[in-house]
Amino acid sequence: MPRLQRALALTDQGYRGLKRAIAACTLTNLALMVPFAITVMAFGVVLMRLTGEEVDWRALWGLFAAGVAGLAVVFLCARNDYRRTYVTAYRETEATRMGLAEHLRRLPMSFFNQRDLSELTENLMGDVSSRESLMSSTIPQLVASCVSTAVVCVMLAFFEWRLALCVFSTLPAALLIVLAARGHERRLFERQTGARLEASARLMDYVGGIRDIRACRQVGAQSAPMRAALQTLRDIAMRVELSVDVCVSAATTVLQAGVGLTVFVGTALLAAGEVDFLTLLMFLLIASRVYGPITSILSQLPNLLQLSGRTARLRALADEPVAAGSGDAAGLGERGVELADVRFSYAAAGDEVLRGVSLRMEPGTVTALVGPSGSGKSTVAKLVARFFSPASGSVSAGGVDLATLDEESWLGNVSVVFQDVTLFDDTVMENIRMGRAGATDEEVRAAARAAHCEEFVGRLPEGWGTRLGENGARLSGGERQRLSIARALLKDAPIVLLDEATSSLDPENETLVQDAVSRLCAGKTVLVIAHRLRTVAGADQIVVLDGGRVAERGTHAELMAAGGLYARLVRIQAESLGWSVGGRGGR
């Protein structure tokens, strides 16, 4: 991969487009020299009177015609310039975001434990947008300015090398000022990025929790961290702008000192008779024009330095290794699942959540996981879904380790129904159709009927075409659960992972959801995380977890007879059923 393409984190098509954009901008800059050159030539013709010669009006009219033609050429070049730069940048931005989104989809879930949502959002939106801006209005113009300036420098050197040397003698000093400030500015840009991510995270926390903040009357207190983060961002942004402005202003001042040097040396040469007045005048005109692109180059160098940090983050994200495994999991879901001496922790140096868990889910049976909060029940379900891979031990299906399988291929065997339902700001129909892409509308409706969704869908303003809002904000908890079950019914996978979904529902919704769950689990291999133990009394096996280990296993009757942890949990829940909100003496 070419170094520039790697540095800017471009796709192959984007890199080709950038090269075409640079060529188009260079052509535009060279075309812009034509009207200027014609203007200088016209000055030369008009100033012929100073030497006692007659003005050649025919030559002037010819130059005027050439100037009109030159403006037409500039217009055509500028039009092509826009198409090659802005359109290319916008297309590359779309391709980059879609490519990164697809890459994120294939990353292991452990990656998302280490990254904050605000950081990933900044990668996909802020970093890519900054690169888009520089691709469209900075990098092609910068390279084109370098090329056109080099051309002018060579032309001036052939014309009068001493004055050309005066014009460009201050350029190395100006560049040295910009480069000397590079280390300091890079550190400031890194601090600014960190402050922006922190401010974004604080804003998301504040807005996401505004209901609880207002309910607890903590608006002022909870806004203090957000205010502090925003003030820090403001302060570092002001320091960045001050540093960049001082650096660029100093470099520009030193650069334009070349005009004074050119006047001084040119006057001396004129007095010595080594150059004529017309030559000196044209040199001064050209010097005033050539400093524009160089000043633009100097002012954009800090932006390129900031872009290097942003593209480094894009490259780091694109280089994250995708989930391992490439085997085909077709048919394996019908052969049961087994965990063998599984150990797992969410952080590399963190405490183990599972400590040598072993269990087998026979095909077509129901396995219930019970235990105190934090005992590892949800973690087992996530390992079976292959959202994570164990640190040691294995999770296998039909004797095949899930770590060797393609993650998406295995997930084709698994339906997941958890309490934390994720719905999208799309129509009811499309939210259910996520269970099986390509399902017909009638198949979607059939799954919805089986999950008792038709009743509330009929009340929505546009029925099946109603958009549900962010994460299904228009629906109640029970309605969201039924949509999630409809999605799983449509998928019709042989393994069902079920986080008991009725513990927080009202009696009416609970009955409907329980009926939908019964239809979903019929004939499937089911792993259910039980919160209310009476609901899993009929499970084929109950596995009791405690502290990340299997404490007991057996049927309900066997575990009650054993009088261990399971029996104690059942008694505690039975006692809690008698609790009610009372008055002064209520229990």
* Residue ranges covered by each domain of the chain: 3-318, 329-413+493-587, 421-491
Query: Which pLDDT score, from 0 to 100, does residue 149 have?
Result: 77
Please give the Cα distance from 355 to 547 (Å, whole number).
8
Q: Which helix (H) or strand (E) holds 299?
A: helix 277-318
The mean pLDDT value for 563-568 works out to: 88
Q: Is 586 a residue whose pLDDT tops 50?
A: no
For 148-157, what is each residue's pLDDT tens digit?
777 877 877 8
The mean pLDDT value for 142-164 works out to: 80
The mean pLDDT value for 374-389 works out to: 86
Query: Which pLDDT score, from 0 to 100, does residue 102 have?
Result: 87
Most confident stretch, 113-127, 310-324, 379-393, 573-587: 379-393
Instruction: Tell me which CATH code domain 329-413+493-587 carries.
Output: 3.40.50.300
Q: Is 126 a residue whose pLDDT tops 60?
A: yes
Residues 6+ apart with CB under 8 A from 500: 419, 528, 529, 530, 531, 532, 535, 536
Q: Is 346 a residue whose pLDDT tops 60?
A: yes
The mean pLDDT value for 317-326 works out to: 80
Q: Looking at the whole model, is its pTM more than 0.75?
A: no
Proportion of the chain above pLDDT 70, given as a percent: 90
Query: Which pLDDT score, from 0 to 100, does residue 336 have?
Result: 86
For 419-463, what is each residue's pLDDT tens digit?
777 888 888 899 889 888 888 989 988 888 888 888 888 888 888
Please give the Cα distance from 317 to 319 (Å, whole number).
5
Question: Which of these CATH numbers, 3.40.50.10880, 3.90.550.10, 3.40.50.300, 3.30.360.10, describes 421-491?
Answer: 3.40.50.300
Q: Which residue has the higher pLDDT, 509 or 69?
A: 69
Query: Which pLDDT score, from 0 to 100, does residue 587 have?
Result: 43
Half-sphere exposure of 255 (CA within 13 A, CB side): 26
Are 452 and 515 in contact by the 8 Å Cβ rule? The answer is: yes
Q: Which contacts (CB < 8 Å, 24+ apart) does range 39-46 have?
A: 39/67, 39/285, 40/282, 40/285, 40/286, 42/67, 43/281, 43/282, 43/285, 44/278, 44/282
Report the amino acid identity of residue 337: V
Are 194 and 116 in contact by the 8 Å Cβ rule? The answer is: no
The mean pLDDT value for 168-178 works out to: 83
| 340: confidence class by pLDDT, cuts 50, 70, 90 | very high
**CA torsion, points 229, 233, 239, 241, in degrees to nearest 10?**
-170
For 5-52, what is each residue's pLDDT tens digit?
787 788 888 888 888 888 888 888 888 777 777 777 777 777 666 666
Mean pLDDT of the residues in the chain: 81
Residues 6+ apart with CB under 8 A from 434: 424, 487
Q: Which residue has the higher pLDDT, 518 or 229?
A: 229
Q: Is 520 a residue whose pLDDT tops 80?
A: no
Proportion of the chain above pLDDT 90, given as a percent: 3
Q: 236-240, 355-359, 452-456: lowest mean pLDDT where? A: 452-456
| 585: confidence class by pLDDT, cuts 50, 70, 90 | very low
Which CATH architecture group holds 3-318?
Up-down Bundle (1.20)
Neighbours of 79 (CB within 10 A): 12
Phi, psi of 498 (to 5 degrees): -130, 115
Q: Are strands 495-499 and 337-344 parallel, antiparallel or unpaired?
A: unpaired
Q: Is 472 a residue whose pLDDT tops 80?
A: no
Q: Is 584 a residue whose pLDDT tops 60?
A: no
Residues 6+ apart with CB under 8 A from 143: 22, 25, 26
Are 151 and 238 in contact by the 8 Å Cβ rule? The answer is: no
Residues 6+ apart with CB under 8 A from 224: none
Q: Is 233 a residue whose pLDDT tops 60?
A: yes
Query: Which pLDDT score, from 0 to 100, does residue 580 have?
Result: 57
Same fold, 3-318 and 329-413+493-587: no
The mean pLDDT value for 278-297 works out to: 73
